[in-house]
Amino acid sequence: MNDKTIRKASLGVAILPLAFMLVVLFTGLILFSVDIKILLLVCAAFTVCICLLLGHTWKEIESEIVEKLAKAFPAIMILICVGLMIGAWIVSGTIPFLVYIGLQIISPKFIIVTSFLVTVILSVSTGTSWGAAGTVGAALMSVAAGMGAPLPAVAGAIVAGAYFGDKMSPLSDSTNMSAIATNTNLYQHIGHMFYTTVPGFIISCVVYVIAGMSFASSGEIGQVDDIIQTLAKLFNFSMPIGILLLVPPVIVVMGSLKKKPTIPVMMISSAVAIIIAMAVQGFSFSTCATSMVSGFKMDMFVNPAVDLDSVVKEVPNLLQRGGMSSMMNTALMAFCAFGFIGALTVSGSLDVILERIMKHVHGTGQLITITTILGVIIITVIGEASVTFLMIGGLFREEYVKRGLETKNLSRTLEDSITVVEPLVPWSLAGVYMTSTLGVATIEYAPWACLCYTGVIFAIIWGFTGFGIAKIKKGSDNYEEYLELNKELNL
């Protein structure tokens, strides 16, 4: 057995992979429009070389990459199932029916704020940002497209609303993970987030109402009546069949509320949708299967009630989507991204950088600011929230307690800088999922996802002003630990 000395990376070496990644991504994406998957593989190869020079073996790197992929694979499976489910919902008439109803009851000038509020309610109720965006979010995007509404604005509002619930719902994985990473009571953590989330909610509503008014005044309402009439001819919406078409999304919502396994619930919903498609809409099983795999196509209408050549262009744009194959780009993205993340973890670069930074942090404002900045940087670099929660939570928790700050300050800051920032990162699973589901590029919807920025801003402001900062008091959960840490430091 060959014993090889593993060297710890110096600060300069530790910074190299991150600096290289930033240069490569900026140059490749902005200047030359290179596919991000290739760029991530280049970053991974560079980081692997650094690991090998430090004495690590390829086997170590490979094992870390495989471990991270294994943790992400359930999310990838859900993503593929969402593609399958959207294909099933379209062929059954479920999504077309939601569009048909939405175009008639939602005012164009309120489509943006309505999209935000509806996804807020669903995501808080179910605890899943992906579920909210993939179900009602997808339907709202179709409604917005039918109205000729600005899709980046609507998509940004949906992402913001979905991640409001991802922060605030006790059913949310990220909410629980943030509390676990800092050893904070879950409901204390949620209550403490109101300080940064409520102002962001109010600001978002104001922005979306103003934006909606501007859109409405422009007169770009689209061919709404033509779309409504065409959908009614293509699909059977007559009552009580219309109520039956709502069963597939109700299955998903109820499954989420009852905390049932996501993938089986999606598969059941898809199966019900296929039965409806065959029994009510008249499609064959072969056509339904094709829609679930490759996405719905207009030529699947064997005997259409209208001439397909005369259909307004918005209708094909609404219907021709979904399918498992539409989500495979995301799976490839995950493989490439985790190649870089795995190598970066093995190199120990982040540990070295964080250790050096902590020596220069003084005061509550600075501590929360550096926590926020590192949260944003690390989630941007690795694109994976759970790892970032555990990494920063483990690094800063003792420091917060040592300074007399309740750990719920830290858990809140993690949510403000990681949870809501993740969908703004194009190469993260969340960013790719939102782009795939809503049909709008991350860089296009990001400016409109107001809630994803306000948390960072208010976290820093409250850190320096002291507003909403909880101090450790006698009898609190962290009091004994605070005494012990200060005793050890002879303070």
Residues 11-24: pLDDT tens digits? 999 999 988 988 88
Q: CA–CA separation, 428 vs 31, rounded Å?
A: 21
Give the pLDDT confidence of 412-445 residue by residue, as tens digits.
Answer: 999 999 999 999 998 888 898 899 889 899 999 9
- Local mean pLDDT, 10-residue blocks, the chain (491 residues): 76 91 81 84 94 94 88 76 86 86 79 91 77 80 83 95 88 79 84 94 95 65 69 88 90 78 89 96 94 91 70 74 79 79 87 80 90 89 76 81 91 93 88 89 94 94 94 86 74 48
Chain length of the chain? 491
Q: Helices in 54-185 by DSSP H: which ranges?
A: 58-92, 94-105, 111-126, 129-132, 138-147, 151-168, 173-182
User: DSSP code of 261?
Assistant: -
Angle CA(366)–CA(407)–CA(476) in degrees, nearest 5? Answer: 125
- Determine the angle formed by the axes of helices 111-126 and 247-257, rounding to 10 degrees: 50
What is the dihedral sign for C-alpha 183, 189, 195, 198?
Answer: positive
**Longest Cα separation, the chain:** 83
263 sits in which H/E element: helix 262-276
Report phi then psi at 127, rounded to 5. 75, 15
Q: CA-based angle 445:449:450, to the nearest 5?
A: 145
Please say whether the beta carbons of 242 and 97 come within 8 A. Answer: yes
Residue with tokens 């003084």: 362
Q: How far is CA 233 from CA 97, 148, 238, 316, 385, in A?
A: 12, 21, 11, 14, 45
Q: How far is it, in rounded angstroms, from Cα 415 to Cα 408?
A: 11
pLDDT for 217: 46
Q: How far is CA 310 from the centre of its chain?
A: 38
With a CB cutoff of 8 Å and minimum separation 6, the contacts of 488 are: none
And the tokens for 303? 């005997």
pLDDT in the model for residue 221: 47
Residue pair 274/91 in contact by the 8 Å Cβ criterion: yes
3-state secondary structure at position 481? helix
Of the candidates 159, 165, 172, which has an alpha carbon nearest to the alpha carbon of residue 122? Answer: 165
Planar angle of CA 282, 286, 292, nearest 5 degrees: 95
Q: What are phi and psi of 212, to 5 degrees?
A: -65, -40
Residue-level pLDDT at 96: 85
pLDDT at 125: 65
With DSSP H G I counted as helix, E B as strand and the rest as coil, what are the percentages for the chain, rounded to 5?
Answer: 80, 0, 20
Token digits of residue 161: 């609303």
Which residues, other chains included, contact 45 with Cβ-Cβ below 8 Å and sequence gap of 6+?
none
Report pLDDT for 218: 46
DSSP, collapsed to helix, strand or coil, labels residue 405 as strand
Residue 215 and residue 150: Cα distance in Å, rounded?
8
Integer CA distances (angstroms), 98 to 247, 249, 260, in order: 12, 10, 24
- The number of angstroms, rounded, from the C-alpha of 190 to the middle of its chain's C-alpha atoms is 19
What local confidence, expressed as pLDDT, does residue 305 receive? Answer: 61
Which amino acid, one-letter code, is at 344? L
Task: Say how far apart CA 89 and CA 428 lie, in whole Å.
Answer: 26
CA distance 471 to 479: 10
Cα four-point dihedral sign 347, 348, 350, 353: negative
Q: Are 340 and 43 in contact (CB under 8 A)?
A: yes
pLDDT attached to residue 285:
96
How is residue 259 written in tokens? 């905390």
Q: Are 91 and 331 in contact (CB under 8 A)?
A: no
Report the candidate in 431, 450, 440 with the shortest Cα–Cα distance to residue 144. 440
> What pLDDT is attached to residue 118?
87
Alpha carbon distance 56, 246 (integer Å): 54
How far apart, in whole angstroms, are the C-alpha atoms of residue 145 and residue 124? 25
